[in-house]
Amino acid sequence: MPRWLIPLIILLVVIVAVEIYTFQAFKTISNSKFVRFLFLTASVGVYIYFFLTVLTYDRGNGQTPQFQMAMGLMLTVSIPKLIIILVLFGEDIFRWILKLISAISSGDTKPLAGRRKFISQIALGLAAIPFASFIYGIIYGKYNYKVLKYSLTFKDLPEAFDGFTITQISDIHSGSFTNKEKIKYGVDLINKQKSDIMLFTGDIVNNKADEMDNWIDVFDKLEAKEGKFSILGNHDYGDYMDWENPQDKIDNFQQVKDIHKKIGFDLLLDEHRYLEKDGQKIALLGVENWGKGFNQAGDLKRTSSGVNKEDFKILMSHDPSHWEYKVKQDPFNYHLTLSGHTHGLQMGIEIPGWLKWSPSKYVYKQWAGLYQEAGRYINVNRGFGYHAFPGRVGIWPEITVIELKKG
C-alpha cells in the first residue's frame, strides 16, 4: 500500500464525519429537501475543486490565483462547520449527562433526547458570521485599503527633518492579483499621501519575477518627492517552489531585483543611503531578509558599515522577528525599524483602542502596527497585497504614513 494512501483515507474519514455531523444542524431546522441538497452540493463541490486543484497544480508555478481560491473556499466552508460541530458537540455532552442522571436516579431506559431546534439555529447563526466574513474578505476585503498615520517624536532627530514624512508599503505579492482597477485605486491612494519618501519593505512577488510583468505599468506610477527605496522579502528569493535547475533560480532572483529599478525604487541589499536636508542628514538602511528559523540572508553589520553610531537611523527589515531577536537590543541604536511579512495573517479582529487580535500574535511578538521598546520603534505593516488566502477578514491592506517630529 502506498504511504500516501493511509493519510488520504484518514482525511476522507474525517471529512465524511464532519459532513455528517454538520448536516444534523440543517436536518434539525428544516425538512426541505432543497435546503439539504443545496448544503450537500455546495460542500461536495468545494471538496472536488480543492482536491483537483491541489493534486493537479504544478508546484513549479508557485501559488497561482486558482490555488489560492481553492484554499480560500476550503477555509470559507470549513471554519463555519467547526463552529457548528463545537455547538452540537456541547449539546451532545449535555444530552448524555441528562440521560446518565436519569438512568442512575430512576432507571430510565428511554432513548437519548433528540436535538433541540433552537440549538441548531444558534449553531447555524454563529457559523454564518465567519462564512459571511470570509465571502466579504475574498470579494471586497482584500481591496479595503486603510491609511494609518503615526507621528513619532525623537530627541536626536536633526532639526531639518522635523515634519519629514514617510509612506511605507509592504508585501505586494503581485502573483496573487486579479483586478487591475482595484490595484490602481490602491496605488492612487498611496500617491495621495504626498510623503517625502516612499519605502517598500519586501515581497514584491510570490515566487517568480514574471508575476510582476502585468503590474509594472501600475506600480511605476508611485511617487515620492525625495525618492523611493526598497528591500527584499522572503518570497523574493524563490525558495518556495521547485526549480528545474539551480541556474533558473539564480536567474529569477536577478530578475526580481531588476523589477525594483523598473518601477523606480532604489533597492538596498545590505546597504545604506544618507538623506540630506539643509546640510543635515539621516541614515536609511536596508537589510536583506532575516527571519527567525529561516532565510537569514541579511547582515546587519554589513548594512551599517560606514554609518555613524550617533546618526539618526531608519532601518528597513522585512521580518519583524529580526527586530525582536537582533535589532532592538543592538547598541548601535536603530531609532525606527520598518517591517512587514506577517500580513496580520490577513484575518483577525481589530477595534481601535479596544481589541487587536489575530492568530498571528501566537507566532510573532510584533505582528501588526506600531510597537515601542526602550525608545526604539518598529512598525509592522499589514501588507498591501495578499497571499495563500485570497482575501482579508478584519485585517485590512495597509498604507502607513509616519511623520518624524523633533522632541
269 burial class (0-12, 13-18, 19+ CB within 10 angstroms)? middle
Q: Which three cell numbers stand for residue 25?
A: 444542524
In a shared domain, residues 332 and 274 = yes
Contact 165/196 with Cβ under 8 angstroms? yes
What pLDDT shows up at residue 167?
98
In a shared domain, residues 230 and 113 = no
Residues whose CB is less than 8 angstroms from the CB of residue 404 and which lie 6 or more positions away in sequence, other chains included = 152, 154, 157, 161, 162, 163, 164, 165, 166, 336
What pLDDT shows up at residue 113?
61
Q: Where are the alpha helices (DSSP H) in 297-360?
A: 300-304, 320-322
Q: How far is CA 371 from CA 3, 152, 251, 343, 380, in A?
A: 47, 11, 37, 16, 8
Among the candidates 101, 118, 139, a domain finishes at 139
In a shared domain, residues 128 and 209 = no
Structural domain for 60, as ranges = 5-139
Residues whose CB is less than 8 angstroms from the CB of residue 333 and which lie 6 or more positions away in sequence, other chains included = 309, 313, 376
Contact 131/43 with Cβ under 8 angstroms? no
Radius of gyration of the chain (CA): 26
In a shared domain, residues 119 and 171 = no
In a shared domain, residues 344 and 275 = yes
In a shared domain, residues 121 and 62 = yes
Residues whose CB is less than 8 angstroms from the CB of residue 111 and which lie 6 or more positions away in sequence, other chains included = none
What pLDDT shows up at residue 3?
67
In a shared domain, residues 103 and 231 = no
Q: How far is CA 94 from CA 99, 112, 221, 403, in A?
A: 9, 11, 61, 57
Q: Assign residue 332 the CATH number of its domain.
A: 3.60.21.10
pLDDT one digit per residue (tens) for the chain, 407 residues? 566 677 777 878 888 888 888 887 777 777 788 878 888 888 889 999 998 998 887 776 777 888 999 999 999 999 999 999 999 888 888 888 877 887 777 766 666 666 778 888 888 899 999 999 999 999 999 999 999 999 999 999 999 999 999 999 999 999 999 999 999 999 999 999 999 999 999 999 999 999 999 999 999 999 999 999 999 999 999 998 889 899 999 999 999 999 999 999 999 999 999 999 999 999 999 999 999 877 789 999 999 999 999 999 999 999 999 999 999 999 999 999 999 999 999 999 999 889 999 999 999 999 999 999 988 999 999 999 999 999 999 999 999 999 999 98
Q: What are phi and psi of 39, to 5 degrees?
A: -60, -50
What pLDDT shows up at residue 244?
87
Q: How far is CA 36 from CA 82, 115, 234, in A?
A: 18, 17, 45
In a shared domain, residues 289 and 266 = yes
Among the candidates 86, 120, 139, a domain finishes at 139
Total number of domains in the chain? 2
In a shared domain, residues 76 and 222 = no
Among the candidates 139, 154, 187, a domain finishes at 139
CA distance 304 to 313: 10
Q: What are phi and psi of 397, to 5 degrees?
A: -60, 140
What pLDDT shows up at residue 109?
65
In a shared domain, residues 154 and 97 = no
In a shared domain, residues 319 and 392 = yes
In a shared domain, residues 84 and 179 = no
